[in-house]
Amino acid sequence: MTTRIIVWGTGNVGRLGLHTVIARPDFELVGVVVSSPAKIGVDAGDLLGLEPVGVTCTDDVGPLLDCAPEDRADACAYFASADIRPGEAAADMARCLEAGLDEVSTSIVPLIYLPAADQGMVEMLDRACKAGNASMFTNGVDPGWANDLLPLMLAGTCERIDTIRMMEVVNYATYDAASVLFDTMGSGRPRRRGGTRRRTRRNRGVVRAGACRSRHRGQPVDDGRRRRPRRGRRPQHRQSRLHRRSRVERDPCGAGGGTRHVVGTRSPAADRNGHHVPVTPDTPDASPAYDGIDTVGLDADDTLWHSENRFHEAHQRYHELLAAHVDIGFDALETRMLQTEQRNLKLFGYGAKGFTLSLIETAIEVTAGAIPSSDIRTIVGFGKELLEHPVDLLDGVAETIGRLRDAGHRLILVTKGDLWHQESKVAASGIADRFDAVEIVSEKDPATYRRVLDRHGVDPARFCMVGNSVRSDVLPLLEIGARALHVPYEFLWAHEAVADADADPRFRTVDSIRDVPDVLR
């Protein structure tokens, strides 16, 4: 006995479904519904480059559903795009269900997990199923099998599950679906007011797939909404500048080969004699060195949002904690901590996790192992607070990004550190969709920047990096022939500090991120 099937939609997914229906001996193709005028009247076999099968494509499903019951199909495989027309797609599906056709589909992604889908739509389709004594099933590869059934299967190999992370990496250069690329995702389309492209329901499918997995695991699920961080509020510090996390500069003459601690940071826009140099359109030669820039890279921590101030606060509490166990001066402990952090970079990398482990190691060393486990637990708590702290954008960031986009600049976020923590901060920042690309790297050196620019087809001579660290955001760019703008932050980790860079026409220091668009225009 064969199952008589209508295939509705012959795009990327629909062609695969149509091929399967034609190839299987237990299926009989009785109709193909299309929306493209160019496909109407074309034999289904010809559409796939196969031998003709005697079924021509039509844009009118009516005759296929209104025929006598004995001539009607048993099922409909519905593959028509629903990203920007979910209501119309649901109506199409309901029409087939009411006619008594069972239905399988990949189109309306939220229907993969009914409790999270639009309940009005679910109720309408449920009524249609009952009216036609029919059934329906929605699934797919992604969202679908790859991010709900496959993780559940793999979970069987795990003793416990702490976190499930999802990341989608797709080469859309070879994705033959213009409506998805341009209508759904908004590629090449002008941004709306506020800088976002058109959003559709499709991206919610991944969240719903995650909810499905969590339900299977018996875990609670939140509502899936992204919490927006507090913006524009700089934290108030009661401590003196003498207690800020210091930076270390090498003696430029190399005398003694030692290091010295410099409290705080120098004035953001100052010459070698410390004189303030305001960056304004009226300043002579304020922008000639930045002509021809079409792509701008932006650092994240301490350039777009506060970060180092949190580490500073952890430092203060760490000093107070160890003071109860060992008599060591502030500078001496800072030096020991810095040495441990730098020694561990090749093992732990950058970020709060490596920082916390280095604090623990230093505490054990300076107390000769006498620090109690309760204080180790406290230090671990410092690290967890760093990881859990909400993202707090710096003043002027959203405005600056908007001005850069309005000026036609392509924007790439380039940040280094722990992948999981940086991904979380980018997602929570509320500005991720303003960037054309996001790059999270383990180190910022010339080789890394070359790879990033090559990957995105960017000419270094037309690229400018903006960041708070001369070591990471300026000097590597100068080496590969790009340009950079230095935007100092009120705190600087000693590892990132360098002696003042030699004057270079590709390198300026500005007071605020708000100055960046003026320099680049």
Give residue-wise pLDDT tens across range 18-68: 999 999 999 999 999 999 899 999 999 999 999 999 999 999 999 999 988
Mean of the per-residue pLDDT values of the chain: 79
Query: Given this model, what pLDDT does residue 464 score?
Result: 95
Q: Is pLDDT at 132 greater than 90 in this prediction? A: yes
Q: Is pLDDT at 248 greater than 60 in this prediction? A: no
Query: Given this model, what pLDDT does residue 159 score?
Result: 84
Averaged pLDDT, 171-197: 64
Q: Is pLDDT at 374 greater than 90 in this prediction? A: yes
Which residues 6+ apart lie within 8 Å of 407 measured at CB?
Answer: 517, 520, 521
Higher pLDDT, 71 or 133: 133
Ranges 83-97, 145-159, 180-194, 206-220, most confident: 83-97
Q: What is the DSSP letter of 220?
A: -
The pLDDT confidence band at residue 426, using thresholds 50, 70 and 90, is: very high
Length of the chain: 521
The pLDDT confidence band at residue 484, using thresholds 50, 70 and 90, is: very high
Q: What is the DSSP letter of 479?
A: H
Q: Is pLDDT at 275 greater than 50 in this prediction? A: no
- Which of 153-157, 237-241, 352-356 is predicted with the least confidence, judged by mean pLDDT? 237-241
Query: Given this model, what pLDDT does residue 514 score?
Result: 94
The pLDDT confidence band at residue 223, using thresholds 50, 70 and 90, is: very low
Q: Which of 104, 139, 136 is nearest to 209 (CA)?
A: 139
Query: Given this model, what pLDDT does residue 338 score?
Result: 87
Q: Is pLDDT at 256 greater than 50 in this prediction? A: no
Query: Given this model, what pLDDT does residue 189 score?
Result: 66
Judging by beta carbons within 10 Å of its beta carbon (0-12, 13-18, 19+), is residue 284 exposed, middle or buried? exposed
Instruction: Give percent of the chain above pLDDT 70.
Output: 77
Q: Is pLDDT at 447 greater than 90 in this prediction? A: yes
Query: Given this model, what pLDDT does residue 501 score?
Result: 53
Averaged pLDDT, 214-224: 49
Ranges 8-22, 186-200, 256-270, 493-507, most confident: 8-22
pLDDT (tens digit, 9 = 90+) per residue, 353-364? 999 999 999 999
- Which of 277-291, 304-318, 330-344, 460-474 is predicted with the least confidence, judged by mean pLDDT? 277-291
- Which of 35-39, 265-269, 434-438 is predicted with the least confidence, judged by mean pLDDT? 265-269
Averaged pLDDT, 108-128: 89
Q: Is pLDDT at 242 greater than 70 in this prediction? A: no
Q: Is pLDDT at 225 greater than 80 in this prediction? A: no
Cα 408–Cα 414–Cα 420 angle in degrees, nearest 5: 135
Query: Given this model, what pLDDT does residue 505 score?
Result: 60
Respond yes or no on whether the N-terminal peptide bond of residue 37 is cis (omega within 30° of 0). no
Q: Which two tokens stand for residue 474?
A: 């300026």
The pLDDT confidence band at residue 389, using thresholds 50, 70 and 90, is: confident
- Answer whether 409's CB lies under 8 Å from 431's CB: no
Cα 233–Cα 234–Cα 237 angle in degrees, nearest 5: 140
Query: Given this model, what pLDDT does residue 296 score?
Result: 96
Place of tokens 């199409």: 92
Query: Given this model, what pLDDT does residue 504 score?
Result: 56
Q: Is pLDDT at 218 greater than 80 in this prediction? A: no
Q: Is pLDDT at 277 greater than 50 in this prediction? A: no
- Give me the long-range contacts of 370-378 (CB less than 8 A, separation at least 24): 370/325, 371/322, 371/325, 375/321, 375/325, 378/321
Place of tokens 């760019």: 477
Supply the DSSP string of 103-139, one letter for each residue: EEESSSGGGGSGGGS-HHHHHHHHHHHHHHT--EEE-
Higher pLDDT, 85 or 241: 85
Find how far residue 44's CA is from the centre of its chain. Answer: 40
- Which of 200-204, 377-381, 517-521 is predicted with the least confidence, judged by mean pLDDT? 200-204
Q: What is the sign, positive or negative, of the torsion defined by CA atoms of 425, 300, 204, 77?
A: negative
Q: Is pLDDT at 386 greater than 70 in this prediction? A: yes
Spatial distance between the Cα atoms of 431 and 428, rounded to a whole number of angstroms: 8
The pLDDT confidence band at residue 377, using thresholds 50, 70 and 90, is: very high
Query: Given this model, what pLDDT does residue 238 score?
Result: 32
Give SS3 for 65. helix
Instruction: Give percent of the chain above pLDDT 90.
Output: 48
Write out the H or E segment, with its range, that includes residue 383: helix 373-388
Query: Given this model, what pLDDT does residue 265 score?
Result: 38
The pLDDT confidence band at residue 230, using thresholds 50, 70 and 90, is: very low
Query: Given this model, what pLDDT does residue 512 score?
Result: 92
Higher pLDDT, 146 or 247: 146
Q: Is pLDDT at 456 greater than 50 in this prediction? A: yes
- Answer whether 486's CB lies under 8 Å from 508's CB: yes
